[in-house]
């Protein structure tokens, strides 16, 4: 089954053709932070420049000395100045993590998905997963060429850009999963399409969409995301990057058995229970995408403008956008903003444990 950014396709009780984008909205006011403090996560403060440490005071007066003494004094002063300069330079440079982590080539031949077939362990997989015990390294270097996606570029150019994004996602999440001692991820391929497309998950129509296909563990992105008036937010930097981080998060859910448990339990759930499980799944992907975005923010030069663009995206998508009232499987606009911002404000994966969150936070 495919996890879709937009519509409800592929779900046993899906509402085909729902438009996930629409009106403006505000964050929930009553729901508290499930991990203490009782406050909503505010927009992450990126881009604030750290002031270098100020060194020294007034230099002391030295006594007169001979020529050799003056030479030694000058040489010593130069050494001290050089050391202090190096220290100050180091203090002002980002200490990027995972620079030496080897990134393998992208592959369409994905490793076999780990599947937990023991129903007695399913609750533990969802709510006490080994992934939740990890922290995400930050900051992580993410170098893109070009630095920004050109929404007016050719499909080939867009695909090349998004494929680079997969390397950055792997550099953030690869070490994180490795540290679980049981799970690992990989670099998938990205296919950018302009018409209907047939994948291992079936045929998708020509429409604005981006999705992860669980049957082949690859990612797909429609150029219509840039063309349709209701989805042209994707033209704003770095919204498309965030969307693909969300889809890669679905891949991660597959790699840590969460997706498998969800689908194996489908025939045991009522429609309402299935939709609730779907919302927990999608909102977790929003949160993990936020964590990735924060990890690469310094390298990518993200600041408050980029935070605002991502927030605008979450304010345009949701099961209740466009005035809809029927429960969906992706989460309300307010819930999607909440979990996206929470992810952007933490390095603790446990904070993205939507499967143990209060029902009020996963509407």
Query: What are the pLDDT digits (tens) for 36-71?
Result: 333 345 555 444 333 333 333 333 343 444 555 555
**Which among 359, 228, 355, 211 is positioned nearest to 280, based on CA atoms?**
355
**CA-based angle 339:288:114, to the nearest 5?**
130
Residue percentage of the chain with pLDDT more than 70? 74
**Which among 218, 225, 134, 221 is positioned nearest to 172, based on CA atoms?**
134
What the block records as the tokens of 164 is: 């680079």
245 pLDDT more than 90: yes
Give pLDDT, residue 314.
85
Cα radius of gyration rounded to whole Å, the chain: 24
Give pLDDT, residue 92.
55
Q: Which residues have a Cβ under 8 Å from the Cβ of 71 and sit 6 or more positions away?
A: none
Q: Which residues have a Cβ under 8 Å from the Cβ of 69 and sit 6 or more positions away?
A: none
pLDDT, averaged across the chain: 81
Q: Give the N- to C-terminal CA distance of the chain in Å, as an integer.
A: 22
27 pLDDT more than 50: no
Rounded to whole angstroms, how far apart are CA atoms 216 and 79? 59
How far is it between the farthest Cα atoms of the chain? 92
> Please, which pLDDT band fits residue 317 given cuts at 50, 70 and 90?
confident
- DSSP letters spanning 123-190: HHHHHS-GGGG-B--SSB----SSSS--TTS-HHHHHHHHHHHHHHHHHHHHHHHHTTSS-------E
Query: What are the pLDDT digits (tens) for 113-139?
Result: 999 999 999 999 999 999 999 999 999
Q: Tell me which of 14-28, 204-218, 347-361 is least confident.
A: 14-28
87 pLDDT more than 70: no
171 pLDDT more than 50: yes
């Amino acid at each position: 089954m495919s996890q879709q950014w937009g519509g409800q396709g592929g779900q046993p009780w899906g509402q085909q053709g729902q438009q996930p984008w629409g009106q403006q909205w505000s964050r929930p006011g009553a729901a508290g932070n499930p991990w203490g403090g009782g406050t909503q996560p505010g927009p992450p403060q990126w881009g604030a420049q750290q002031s270098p440490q100020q060194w020294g005071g007034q230099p002391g007066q030295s006594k007169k000395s001979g020529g050799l003494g003056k030479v030694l004094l000058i040489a010593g002063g130069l050494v001290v100045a050089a050391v202090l300069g190096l220290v100050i330079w180091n203090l002002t440079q980002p200490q990027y993590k995972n620079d030496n982590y080897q990134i393998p080539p992208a592959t369409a031949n994905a490793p076999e998905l780990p599947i937990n077939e023991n129903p007695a362990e399913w609750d533990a997989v969802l709510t006490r997963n080994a992934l939740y015990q990890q922290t995400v390294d930050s900051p992580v270097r993410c170098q893109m060429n070009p630095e920004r996606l050109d929404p007016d570029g050719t499909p080939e150019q867009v695909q090349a850009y998004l494929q680079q994004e997969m390397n950055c996602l792997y550099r953030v999440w690869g070490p994180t999963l490795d540290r679980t001692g049981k799970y690992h991820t990989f670099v998938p391929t990205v296919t950018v399409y302009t018409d209907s497309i047939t994948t291992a998950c079936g045929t998708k129509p020509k429409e604005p969409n981006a999705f992860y296909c669980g049957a082949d563990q690859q990612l797909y992105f429609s150029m219509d995301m840039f063309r349709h008036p209701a989805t042209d937010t994707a033209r704003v930097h770095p919204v498309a990057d965030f969307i693909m981080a969300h889809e890669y998060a679905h891949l991660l859910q597959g790699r840590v058995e969460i997706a498998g448990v969800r689908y194996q339990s489908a025939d045991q759930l009522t429609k309402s229970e299935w939709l609730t499980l779907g919302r927990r799944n999608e909102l977790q992907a929003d949160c993990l995408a936020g964590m990735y975005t924060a990890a690469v923010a310094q390298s990518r030069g993200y600041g408050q403008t980029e935070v605002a663009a991502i927030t605008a995206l979450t304010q345009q998508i949701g099961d209740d956008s466009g005035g809809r009232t029927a429960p969906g499987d992706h989460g309300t606009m307010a819930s999607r903003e909440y979990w996206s911002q929470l992810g952007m404000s933490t390095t603790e994966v446990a904070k993205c444990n939507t499967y143990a969150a209060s029902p009020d936070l996963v509407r």
